[in-house]
Amino acid sequence: MNENLSLGRIAGIHVGLNWSLLVVAALIAWSLATSILPSASPGQTSTAYWAAGVISAFVFLASLLAHELAHSIVAMRRGVRVDGITLWLFGGVSRFSSDSNSPGTQALFTFVGPLTSLVLGALFYLVSLGIGGGAHPGLAAATLSWLGYINITLGVFNLVPAFPLDGGRLLQSLIWLRTGDRLRATRIAARIGMGFAYLLIAYGLATYLFAGSIIGGIWSVFLGWFLLSAARSEEAGGMIREALSGISVREVMTPNPVQAPDNITVDDALRSYVLTSRHSTFPTHDSTGRLSGLLTLAALKKVAPEARATTLVKDVTCPVDSVSTATSAEPVANLLGVSDGCGEGRTLVIDGGALVGIISPSDISRLVQRSVPARPR
């Protein structure tokens, strides 16, 4: 899921959001202000309901972020590399650039997400009771009660044993533990996820046709379609990873890529590097020879022609800490999840602090095309 707005870093993890999340926030605020809160706590002003609705929407989004941060922080502590978190229409996605090496590790960082939602839900609900919740709650108590309900619902729904939900990953971890075969575990969990998705689509259609619930029916069908697509993607991804098993980054990378100094102008970079090479990206180094970033053709094109003679390369390069990196001995399958970002999906290969190669998305694509048909599924 593409990121439209960066929220910075939390606990060292990059966090961004997709515009679709703003639609969800608006719908939540509207539903609370016009229906849910007036029914739960009547007699308040419209302004009060809208204020509570807007605040609740943002608190819920913060709860989603807490859910994903729990996944990512525990994964990092277990040695899994985390690219970042993107919040969007269906919640959040933690992006991992390396796989867990054991079913126990995967189960642990998967389970803490729903656990965080359940704990938050219980806390919100207990606080609502403490400030006067019950049969006739005040507005604050009703708002906290809803936050408790929605977080508990999120936690329970995520534990459904169907890919790509957390419960599906827990099921995959269990099958992986029992069989020792990660690919088989992925296939079984993915197919169970597909079955659940078909049931959700059928439920949505039945809700629309027999109960007349247009919004609820369409939402269920849409959610089922998303889960179906994601489960199929997980199964395909598992097959690709299996096909690439045993292949290292060293076997795929372009060795000893041409580096450009970052203290030259954009005009010099175009004449001396871009126009004289078949490559469109160049690692850059500073005046001491230290790797400083990645210069892309897209970044050069953004510089106005009249500014190219005065703009330095270091002002437009993608910083090295924003570019994916790997060692030459790593499994190349670890690079399948590399996000585009300012590095345009490139990975810099570094051994002992020195740049030894570079891998582009097209390198990975060609490898997949060669490897998948040649290996048994």
- Residue range 297-311, pLDDT digits in tens: 889 999 999 999 999
Going edge to edge, which strands form the sheet with 91-96?
Answer: 5-10, 13-17, 82-88, 91-96
**Higher model confidence: residue 57 or residue 132?**
57
| Region 149-172 average pLDDT | 89
Whether pLDDT at 373 is above 70 = no
* Model confidence pLDDT, tens digit, residues 236-275: 777 777 777 778 899 889 999 999 999 999 999 999 998 8
- The torsion angles phi and psi of 44, rounded to 5 degrees, stand at -95, 165
Q: Which amino acid is it at 152?
A: I
Please report which confidence band the pLDDT of residue 355 belongs to, taking 50, 70 and 90 as the band edges. very high
Question: What number is the average pLDDT over the span 149-153?
Answer: 94
pLDDT of residue 353: 87
- Inter-residue contact 100 to 78 (CB < 8 Å): yes
Cβ-in-10-Å burial (0-12, 13-18, 19+) of 101 comes to exposed
* Alpha carbon distance 247, 329 (integer Å): 9
Query: What is the rounded distance in angstroms from the CA atom of residue 159 to the CA atom of residue 111?
Result: 8
Residue 252 CA to residue 47 CA, distance in Å, equals 60
Q: Give how far the C-alpha of residue 228 lies from the chain's centroid of Cα atoms, to the nearest Å.
A: 18
Give me the pLDDT at residue 376, please: 44
pTM for the whole thing? Answer: 0.71
Q: How far apart (Å, rounded) are the C-alpha atoms in residues 144 and 127?
A: 7
109 pLDDT more than 70: yes
pLDDT higher than threshold 50 for residue 354: yes
Tell me the pLDDT band of 377, cut-offs 50, 70 and 90: very low
Nearest to 244 by CA among 377, 367, 327: 367
pLDDT of residue 270: 92
Q: Which two tokens stand for residue 156?
A: 């329970």
Distance CA 324, CA 358 (A): 10
How much is the pLDDT for 375? Answer: 43
CA distance 264 to 292: 13
CA–CA distance, 115 with 211 (Å, rounded to integer) = 34
Q: What's the Cα-to-Cα distance from 70 to each of 21, 87, 89, 120, 203, rounded to whole Å?
A: 19, 14, 19, 12, 32
pLDDT in the model for residue 338: 66
Q: What is the pLDDT of residues 172-206, one digit of tens each?
A: 999 999 998 888 888 888 899 899 899 999 999 99
pLDDT band, residue 98 (cuts 50/70/90): low
Where b means 16+ CB within 10 Å and e means fewer, 162-183 reads bbbbbbbbbbbbebbeeeeebb
Q: What is the mean pLDDT of residues 47-52?
A: 95
% of the chain residues with pLDDT over 70: 94
Q: What is the pLDDT of residues 7-23, one digit of tens each?
A: 888 888 888 888 878 88
Average pLDDT for residues 19-39, to the nearest whole number? 89
On whether the CB atoms of residues 271 and 301 are closer than 8 A, the answer is no
Confidence of residue 143 (pLDDT cuts 50, 70, 90): very high
3-state secondary structure of 74: helix
Residue located via tokens 């998303």: 226
Which residues are the active-site residues?
A: 68
User: Where does the chain have alpha helices with state H?
Assistant: 20-31, 37-40, 46-77, 103-130, 139-158, 166-179, 182-211, 214-244, 266-269, 297-301, 361-374
**13: buried, middle or exposed (CB in 10 Å: 19+, 13-18, 0-12)?**
buried
- Return the pLDDT at 202: 94
Inform me whether the pLDDT recorded for 374 exceeds 70.
no
Helix axes 166-179, 103-130, angle to 10 degrees: 150
Any idea what the Cα angle at residue 169 is, between residues 15 and 17, rounded to 5°?
A: 20
Strand-pairing partners, residue 150, are: none
Question: Between 120 and 235, whose confidence is greater?
Answer: 120
Rounded average pLDDT over 36-56: 93
Q: Which residues pair with 248 in a beta bridge?
A: 331
Higher pLDDT, 232 or 59: 59
Mean pLDDT within 112-117: 94
Contact 88, 64 (CB under 8 A): no
Average pLDDT over residues 216-245: 81
User: Mean pLDDT, to the nearest integer, of 24-36?
Assistant: 90
- Give the confidence band of 6 by pLDDT, cuts at 50, 70, 90: confident
Q: What pLDDT sits at residue 339?
A: 63
And the tokens for 145?
């009660």
Task: State the chain's mean pLDDT as an integer.
Answer: 86
**Taking a C-beta distance cutoff of 8 angstroms, is the pair 295, 282 a contact?**
yes
**pLDDT value at 52 more than 50:** yes
How many whole angstroms from its chain centre is CA 166? Answer: 13
Q: What is the distance between the alpha carbons of residues 235 and 227, in angstroms, rounded to a whole number?
A: 12
